[in-house]
Structure 1
Amino acid sequence: MNTICALCGTPLTSTDMLVGKNKLADGGYLCAECFNKAITVNRDLINNLDQFYFAEITGMILKSKIDASQNPGSSAYAGSNNFEYDAPTRLDEIKDQIVALNARLSVLANEEVNELDKVLDGDEKLVAIAECIDLHSNREGIIFSTQRRVIFMDKKFLGGVIKREFTHQDITSIEQVENLLYSVLKINTRGGVAEFKLHNKSDGRVFCTIGKGYFNEPEKQMSQQPRQPQSLYQSTLTPSSQGSSNTPKESPEVIFEQLEKLGKLKEMGILSEEEFSSQKAKLLQRL
């Protein structure tokens, strides 16, 4: 059994376990306080919490807080005169970004996730995140990308955080190799190579697609790094199109998946309308 609350990360007590119905579908548990918070948002959860995943519960709570701020008095969070509305914190915003990315994180990643507000700058947004093992140190944690860097982070059991950081300016390419049950993400930098075993094999494609969609900005890269290739990231599965008449063709499924990722980046404000249209046109050329 997990010994920490899946939502707030505090150690579970015997009193918390007396609730009896505080288990989530992915195996995690909520402390009594978080369980009460969840059923305040949705009374049905008192009997069927075990049918919902951590990300779904987090999404319900964040949505309720947003509704309360926009429509005072209409949300369960604003129904009592004794309840003081808590504005979403920076960590709440980050967790909301994780939900928007449809990231498949287990409860084992909660400790690292709860440290993200201390690691990310105020203007950084998550564009990809996954659970992994650092093949150099054999440490298990999470790897994530923002609009300007890629970071591996492991929250040690007895406290403290270990992380490896790669700025996009230092990355020369990113590749991935898929196996039957997992994929290996290879980050090539000017200082060497870092490899990470991703628990979900499709996550490697996400990192490579994000790189192609967001960092393929010729004018910006020419001004910052004149000698850099047009795209900092390269996927071993989806060769980069350079506008040649011999553009390699790919299956519609792969192209549509990449278009969906581009759409999410545009919705999050990472890509402008012009950048989205440019990358969309390049992808459609490969059909």
Structure 2
Amino acid sequence: MGSRLDEIKEELEKLDINPTIFARKEIRALPDILSADEKIVYLVEGRNKVNNHHIILAATDRRLIFVDKEFMYGLTVQDYSYTKISSIQYETAVMLASIDIQVTDDIVEIDGVGRYHAELFCEKVRDFMSRPKESFHKAEPTSLDELEQLGRLKESGILSEEEFNEQKKKIMDKL
């Protein structure tokens, strides 16, 4: 069971990413969020500008995933297809940077990211953004995949029945 988590931790080590203790909860949720053969390309942690929660942002070979595991209250996972991202940029302050991602009509903002990591992260994401759309078609998560993932999150106790039903309704509404 823990082997997928170990794989993820190894992937991060190879990428020279050492998450802090603050990102532990989010990292632990990753095995339930990622598809079996999905690879992490880069990962940054920082603060969600909206609610000041500590979050992680993972770029995989298929999509961008925003993970916020709130203390006690469950999990917020948002994922964005690279084909829907219109821009990603970072701004640096003295030691830290903020990343702004424009997705369709939404802006995802994260700050408190290490400068070097923010720069690398943006480079990796831009690399995927510049790829032809066809390379993602097979990887676009289908509603069925999303429902499966929700089921796993509920089974492992990450999502409550209520959260599960709420997310399930959102997916069903898209169909």
TM-score (norm 1): 0.44
The correspondence of residues 111-260 of structure 1 with structure 2, limited to 5 A, is: 111-217=25-131, 220-221=132-133
Q: Report 1 or 2 for greater relative contact order, CA contacts < 8 Å, sequence distance ≥ 6.
A: 2
For 2:24 and 2:102, the matched residues in 1 are separated by: 28
Aligned to 1:73: none
The correspondence of residues 13-92 of structure 1 with structure 2, limited to 5 A, is: 89-92=3-6
For 2:49 and 2:27, the matched residues in 1 are separated by: 21
Contact kept, 8 Å, 2:86 with 2:103, in 1: the verdict is yes
Contact kept, 8 Å, 1:109 with 1:131, in 2: the verdict is yes
What stretches of structure 1 of length at least 5 have no aligned partner? Answer: 1-86, 226-287
Contact kept, 8 Å, 2:82 with 2:128, in 1: the verdict is no
Secondary structure of the corresponding residue to residue 115 of structure 1 = helix
What stretches of structure 2 of length at least 5 have no aligned partner? Answer: 138-175
Q: Identity rate of aligned residues, in percent?
A: 26
Q: Which one-letter code corresponds to 1:193 in the other structure? A: I
Larger Rg: 1
CA drift of 1:161 comes to 1.1
TM-score (norm 2): 0.70
- Compare the two structures and name the one with the higher strand fraction: 2
User: Would the alpha carbon gap of residues 190 and 104 (structure 1) be closer, same or farther in structure 2, given more than 3 Å must change?
Assistant: same
Q: Which one-letter code corresponds to 2:8 in the other structure? A: I
Secondary structure of the corresponding residue to residue 103 of structure 1 = coil
User: Would the alpha carbon gap of residues 194 and 214 (structure 1) be closer, same or farther in structure 2, given more than 3 Å must change?
Assistant: closer
For 1:187 and 1:206, the matched residues in 2 are separated by: 14
For 1:183 and 1:131, the matched residues in 2 are separated by: 11
Secondary structure of the corresponding residue to residue 172 of structure 1 = strand
CA drift of 1:223 comes to 8.5
Contact kept, 8 Å, 1:135 with 1:197, in 2: the verdict is yes
Contact kept, 8 Å, 2:88 with 2:126, in 1: the verdict is no
Secondary structure of the corresponding residue to residue 130 of structure 1 = strand
